[in-house]
Structure formats: C-alpha cells, structure tokens
Amino acid sequence: LTEEESEVLKRIDREGIDFLRLQFTDILGTVKNVSVPAEQAEKAFTEGIYFDGSSIEGFVRIQESDMRLKPDATTFAVLPWRDTSARLICDVIDTTTGEPFEGDPRAVLKDALARAEKLGYEVNAAPEPEFFLFEEDEEGKATTNTNDAGGYFDVAPKDLASDVRRDIIYGLEEMGFDIEASHHEVAEGQHEINFEYDDALSTADNVATFRTVVRAIAAQHDLHATFMPKPIAKVNGSGMHVHFSLFTDGENAFHDEDDEFDLSEVAKQFTAGVLDHAPALAAVTNPTVNSYKRLVPGYEAPVYVAWSDRNRSALIRKPAARVPAASRIEARFPDPSCNPYLAFAVLIHAGLDGIEKEMDCEDPIRENIYEFDEQKREEYGIETLPTNLGEAIDALENDDTVYEALGPHVGPKFVEAKRAEFADYLVDVSDWELDRYLETF
C-alpha cells in the first residue's frame, strides 16, 4: 500500500465509514458507482474490484466484459449527505492487458495531460458550472417552475435559493472542494458556483462529483437541480465556462507582462488551436441536442468563432488578471451536460496542436459580434459554431486531431451514441410544431 492508501484505511476506521462508493464515469459523463463494504478497502487498493463492463454505456463489447476498478486514494471523500459512506474515484483497468482501459474517460484525459507534460506543461483548469433549481410536483417529479424570481447577483429575499446554495457549498467544502464564489445567475432560478483552479484531472473529477452533490442537496430541499443546457426557451441557458492556463515549473506560461493582453505567445497559440478546432470540439463540449438551443445569439452564450479581451459574445475571452498567476483564457462554449474528462481532453489537445504548429492568433474582436451582420462577419473572417448536434458530429469526424484525442475506443463509440441520439431527435414531433401547424394546415 502507498502512504496515501494507508492513510485512507486509517480514516475509514477513525471516521466510522461503513461503505465505499467506487466512482467512475461512462462515455456520456454519467457517474457510476459500485458500493462495497468498507472492509474491502485494502483489497480494493491491492487487487482492485472487478465489475461487468458490458452494462456500462459504450464501455466494451459483451465478449470482453471484465473490468477492474483501481481506486485513486487521493480522491477519498466522505459523502456529506450520508456520513457513513465515502467515495473514491477509480481508474478502469482492462483485465486482459492489466493496462488502463482505453474506454475510460479518465484515461483519455490522462493521455492529454501526458502530451502536455511532454511539451513541458502542467494544465490548470477552473470551471464555472451554471444550473437551474426547479420545483418538484406532488409526485416528486421535476418541473420547470423556478422557485425564485432573482436575477444576476441578487440577494435574499429575492434570491430564495441562497439557503440551498449555501448548503450545497457546505457540502462541497466538506468533500474537499475549494469554492471561489457562488452567485445567482441571470435567469430566474439559475445559479453558478465557481471552483478555484486546480490541475485539470482533479478539476474534472470535481465536476463529475459536483453534479451528484448539487442534485442530492437540492433534493433535500425538495428542489430539482438540472444541468440541462437550455431548460427554458428564450431565457439564458446554462453554460460551463472553463478557464485554462499552462504552467511550467510553477510559473504561468500564459503570462507575459509586456503583452497588451498580458498573454504570452504560448497562450495565443493555445487560443488559436482551440478556435481552429472549435466546430469539432463542440460535439464533445456541447454534446446534447439541447446544447445547440443555448448556442444562439442574444443570451450571453457564444456562437461565433473568435476571441475577445472584453466582450462575452466570443468563444474565448481573456479575463482581466491582476496577478501573473491569473493570466488565463476562458472557453465560454462548453456546457454542463458534457463529460468533463472528455471535454477537457479535447480542448487541451486542440490547444497543444496550436502550440505545436505555432498557429497565429488573430487580433481580438472588441465589438459585440451578436450585432454583426453576415457581411461584417465575412469581412472579419468569423465562422460560427455548428447549429445542431448532427453538424457537430460531422465536424468531429472530419477533424483528425479532435477525433484522435478521444482515443481508438471512445471516438467511434461516442460518434455512434451521438448519431443515434440525433437520429432519435429528428423523428420526434415537438410541441412547437403542433402549436405552429396543427390548426394552420
């Protein structure tokens, strides 16, 4: 056992933990758990826990279904809403080779980080997930009725949810999250919680956990928390902006105090790489049919492939940074329905591609691009993101860098699952169509 693993065994004893939840995620980003009695902890560390991978979305074919979970001791956290249970995030091991399983999203992100390390970089990430809190009906089913009428940065009594948000934050902190800030978002019933930056793997682990924690604590208040990107038409949707920076030997490689934007050449090349691959990235960072209802002009969500040092209609923004360590870029297109491991992995690969190819970064756009007409957009050479999931999947399949970033297992499985999801949507007849046509024709 490693020192960290022995420490976990001691904490299990000391804190009276009865059950361990071994956590991992499937390709679609859904958190999966295997619960084992705490007495199994030592065995989980030394031998791993076997499970049948054939029942997990996109993992394996039935014929080769034995997988092993290898818990990462550094992720031990007691569940705040069930204090005799603790969770451990696991790597998935292929039992036939003993190697990390290529279909494990955590392994896909680790590959991206290994590439960054080869180039001399550590990757930091900080997300800003947004979500809605909705009331439940008498049967406990989620509605789309918001429980408050607050707006951006409103405080109680208008922000009735501040109690819930406080409980959520206490819960997250108990689990070891460093929360930077939280506030009421623009739409009624909409909230945002910002994480302190951390290495990209820990941050992805935290995002995966975050959704579970937020939902569990909201449910204690009889509310349903949703990370669906656009639950209500014609009001702001929920994004998950992600801030990235690369560090070399503890120094921020994105900072250059002599630059007009405090950004180094490396930061600009990374930005250029993300912009260059943006349409394909969208398939992973905005992976649902509903994601594309958010990416429309007028609701503070980006649509146009450009960067800016001030306005929020661009895909990438350079936030004001007061200290060198804070120089970073903010990718504004991801939404919280993404698989955080896969989304970070493809974004990092795209950025590194920009660095390796020394891509040129155009000047930032300072005007509000929402107000540009097509002619002006053409003049500036500004492209748009895919307008639906089908186009995004096409872009993914046509972009070798992004497709290969997913690895040989996840790439094809992801495309297959998302094509099926889009096909299912295309044959549906929506309420909008009935309202518009039923009595007209």
Positions marked catalytic? 52, 128, 130, 185, 192, 241, 312, 330, 332
Give 270-289 as a 3 state SS string. Answer: HHHHHHHHHHHHHHHHCCCC
The first and second tokens of residue 425, run together, are: 């949507």
Distance of alpha carbon 130 from alpha carbon 156, whole angstroms: 19
Closer to ligand GLN by Cβ: residue 211 or 294:
294
Closer to ligand GLN by Cβ: residue 157 or 298:
298
Binding track over 286-305 against ligand GLN, x by CB under 6 A: --------x-----xx----
Q: What DSSP character marks residue 399? A: -
Distance of alpha carbon 59 from alpha carbon 61, whole angstroms: 7
Residue count at the site for ligand GLN (CB under 6 A)? 9
Contact 22, 71 (CB under 8 A): yes
Smallest gap from residue 73 Cβ to ligand GLN (A): 35
- Which one of 5, 26, 104, 130 is in contact with ligand GLN (CB under 6 A)? 130
Smallest gap from residue 275 Cβ to ligand GLN (A): 17
Is residue 26 at the binding interface for Mg ion, with CB under 5 A as the rule? no
Contact 337, 227 (CB under 8 A): yes
Closer to ligand GLN by Cβ: residue 237 or 386:
237
Q: Which of 309, 347, 315 is nearest to 332 (CA)?
A: 315
Q: What beta strand segments (E) does 301-351 contain? A: 304-308, 314-317, 329-331
Is residue 349 at the binding interface for ligand GLN, with CB under 6 A as the rule? no
Query: Considering only residues 306-335, where is the footprint of ligand GLN by CB under 6 A?
Result: 332
Binder of residue 237, out of ligand GLN, Mg ion, none (CB less than 5 to 8 A by kind): ligand GLN
Distance of alpha carbon 128 from alpha carbon 195, whole angstroms: 7
Is residue 364 at the binding interface for ligand GLN, with CB under 6 A as the rule? no
Is residue 309 at the binding interface for Mg ion, with CB under 5 A as the rule? no
Smallest gap from residue 229 Cβ to ligand GLN (A): 7
Binding track over 205-244 against ligand GLN, x by CB under 6 A: -------------------------------xx-x-----
Contact 347, 285 (CB under 8 A): yes
Q: Which of 23, 69, 82 is nearest to 207 (CA)?
A: 23
Q: Give the length of the chain.
A: 441
Binder of residue 236, out of ligand GLN, Mg ion, none (CB less than 5 to 8 A by kind): ligand GLN
Binding track over 14-53 against ligand GLN, x by CB under 6 A: ----------------------------------------
Distance of alpha carbon 91 from alpha carbon 269, whole angstroms: 32
The first and second tokens of residue 358, run together, are: 């020394």
Closer to Mg ion by Cβ: residue 32 or 191:
191
Query: Considering only residues 204-263, where is the footprint of Mg ion by CB under 5 A?
Result: 241
Helix axis angle, 340-356 to 200-220, nearest 10°? 150
Closer to ligand GLN by Cβ: residue 239 or 390:
239
Smallest gap from residue 320 Cβ to Mg ion (A): 12
- Which one of 192, 309, 353, 399 is in contact with Mg ion (CB under 5 A)? 192
Q: Which residue is nearest to ligand GLN (CB)?
A: 239
Binder of residue 294, out of Mg ion, ligand GLN, none (CB less than 5 to 8 A by kind): ligand GLN
Closer to Mg ion by Cβ: residue 192 or 309:
192
Cα separations (Å) of 198 from 3, 107, 127, 206, 207? 22, 18, 10, 10, 12
Letter string b/e over residues 237-258, b meaning 16 or more CB atoms within 10 A of that residue's CB: bbbbbbbbbbbeeeebbbbbee
Q: Which residue is nearest to Mg ion (CB)?
A: 241
Stretch that binds Mg ion, among 128-136, 383-391, 394-402, 413-421 (CB under 5 A): 128-136
Closer to Mg ion by Cβ: residue 104 or 192:
192
Distance of alpha carbon 387 from alpha carbon 384, whole angstroms: 8
Q: Which of 89, 88, 86, 128 is nearest to 106 (CA)?
A: 89
Closer to ligand GLN by Cβ: residue 367 or 379:
367
Runs of H (alpha helix) within 67-125: 105-118
Q: Which stretches of the chain bind Mg ion, using CB under 5 A?
A: 128, 192, 241
Q: Which stretches of the chain bind ligand GLN, using CB under 6 A?
A: 130, 186, 236-237, 239, 294, 300-301, 332
